[in-house]
């Protein structure tokens, strides 16, 4: 053994559970990603989780994961469920650590748009100094995009191709937004403009949250960062440089691994 360490980071999201398996081959060197996996949240709890006292025991064998040196979790489940045999860290912290690791930046504003959550975090010298999250409403989330894509009969990837001439969608509710979109379809707008309208709606909700946070770079993470049009519109709307890490969706899980390495070191 030459100080080799394997760390598993788990981000218990509202819509999906993200797992990152990372390894440090030689002490003092950086982490490398061995495996990334995403599972539907409900399926994860049903098939692989079991309540053990106050904690959640995860059947790692069934998940096909090896025995690891350290397990760190974060996310929605943190308040209600702590993973047995591991440490839990606050969600926003995990995202900051993941973003610093993935981009190498120390000063930036992190925009994480997930399944139900929107988070804006101001990072200075690698530390969170302020943040805002959505509350009581999930209109600016991935779930909204999923709903709208299914109405337009597009895949999420296809939906993310359109940013030009967006139709005006005013509804502030992800559910009522559906009927509004259907109304626009009836009015005869082309699919490209409808899709652009959906993408623009997300950005319209995020820009006011972003306003108090000055700076140059915007690190964009979460599942929504896979939507190219949202990134493009966000860049245009904020006038800031957008940096999307290689694994935006696994940012929180990767942050857990980074934390795991730091606390063991």
Partner 1 sequence: MSKIGLTTTVPVEVIYAAGDTPVDLNNSFITSSEAMRRVEEAELAGYPRNVCGWIKGLYSTALRNPEIQRIVAVTQGDCSNTHALMETWQVEGIKIIPFAFPYDRDPDMLRLQINKFMEAMGTDWEGVNRQKKRLDQVRALAWEIDRLTWEENRVSGFENHLYQVSCSDFNGDPEGFAGEMQNFIQTACKREPLSDQVRSGLRGKGREIRLGFIGVPPIFPELYDFLEQHGARVVFNEVQRQFSMPFETNDVVEQYRLYTYPYQVFQRIEDIATEIERRRLDGIIHYTQSFCYRQIEDLIIRKKLDCPILTLEGENPTGLDARSKMRLESFLSMIGS
Residues making contact with partner 1 (CB under 8 A): 76, 78-80, 90-93, 127-131, 133, 135-136, 212
CB atoms within 10 A of CB 216: 11
Structure tokens at 20: 């990152």
Structure tokens at 170: 């005013």
**Least Å distance between CB 37 and partner 1?**
23
**Least Å distance between CB 156 and partner 1?**
24
SS3 track for 66-118: CCCCEEEEEEHHHCCCEECCCEECCHHHHHHHHHHHHHCCCCEEEEEECCCCE
**Least Å distance between CB 204 and partner 1?**
18
**Least Å distance between CB 198 and partner 1?**
25
Question: Alpha helices of the chain — where are they, by DSSP H?
Answer: 41-43, 60-63, 91-103, 142-152, 156-159, 176-187, 191-210, 228-238, 251-264
**Least Å distance between CB 247 and partner 1?**
22
Q: Are 152 and 194 in contact (CB under 8 A)?
A: yes
Residue from 30, 4, 202 nearest 100 by CA: 30
**Least Å distance between CB 25 and partner 1?**
27
The strand pairing partners of 128, in sequence order, are 123
Q: What is the C-alpha to C-alpha distance for residues 176 and 79, in angstroms, rounded to an integer?
A: 30
**Least Å distance between CB 131 and partner 1?**
6
CB atoms within 10 A of CB 243: 19
Which of 46/125 has CB closer to partner 1?
Answer: 125
Which of 91/139 has CB closer to partner 1?
Answer: 91
Which of 77/177 has CB closer to partner 1?
Answer: 77
Which of 94/154 has CB closer to partner 1?
Answer: 94
Angle subtended at Cα 118 by Cα 211 and Cα 167, rounded to the nearest 5 degrees? 75
Which of 134/249 has CB closer to partner 1?
Answer: 134
Q: Are 230 and 250 in contact (CB under 8 A)?
A: no
Which of 90/190 has CB closer to partner 1?
Answer: 90
Which of 19/91 has CB closer to partner 1?
Answer: 91
Q: Are 113 and 225 in contact (CB under 8 A)?
A: yes
Q: How far is the first Cα of the chain from the last one, in angstroms, to the nearest whole number?
A: 16
């Amino acid at each position: 053994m030459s100080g080799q360490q394997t760390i598993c980071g788990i981000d218990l999201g509202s819509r999906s559970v993200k797992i990152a398996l990372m390894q440090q081959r030689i002490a003092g060197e950086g982490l490398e990603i061995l495996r990334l996996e995403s599972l539907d949240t409900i399926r994860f709890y049903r098939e692989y989780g079991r309540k053990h006292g106050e904690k959640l025991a995860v059947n790692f064998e069934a998940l096909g994961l090896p025995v690891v040196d350290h397990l760190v979790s974060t996310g929605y489940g943190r308040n209600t469920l702590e993973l047995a045999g591991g440490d839990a860290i606050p969600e926003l912290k995990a995202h900051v650590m993941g973003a610093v690791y993935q981009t190498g930046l120390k000063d930036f504003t992190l925009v994480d748009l997930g399944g139900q959550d929107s988070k804006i975090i101001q990072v200075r010298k690698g530390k969170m100094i302020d943040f805002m999250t959505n509350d009581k409403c999930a209109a600016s989330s991935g779930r909204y995009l999923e709903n709208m894509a299914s109405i337009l009969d597009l895949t999420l990837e296809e939906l993310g191709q359109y940013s030009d001439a967006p139709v005006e969608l005013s509804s502030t509710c992800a559910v009522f937004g559906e009927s509004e979109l259907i109304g626009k379809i009836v009015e005869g707008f082309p699919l490209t403009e409808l899709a652009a309208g959906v993408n623009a709606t997300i950005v319209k909700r995020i820009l006011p949250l972003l306003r108090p946070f000055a700076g140059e770079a915007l690190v964009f993470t979460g599942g929504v960062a896979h939507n190219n049009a949202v990134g493009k519109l966000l860049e245009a709307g904020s006038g800031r440089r957008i940096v999307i890490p290689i694994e935006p969706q696994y940012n929180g899980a990767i942050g857990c691994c980074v934390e795991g390495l730091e606390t063991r070191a």
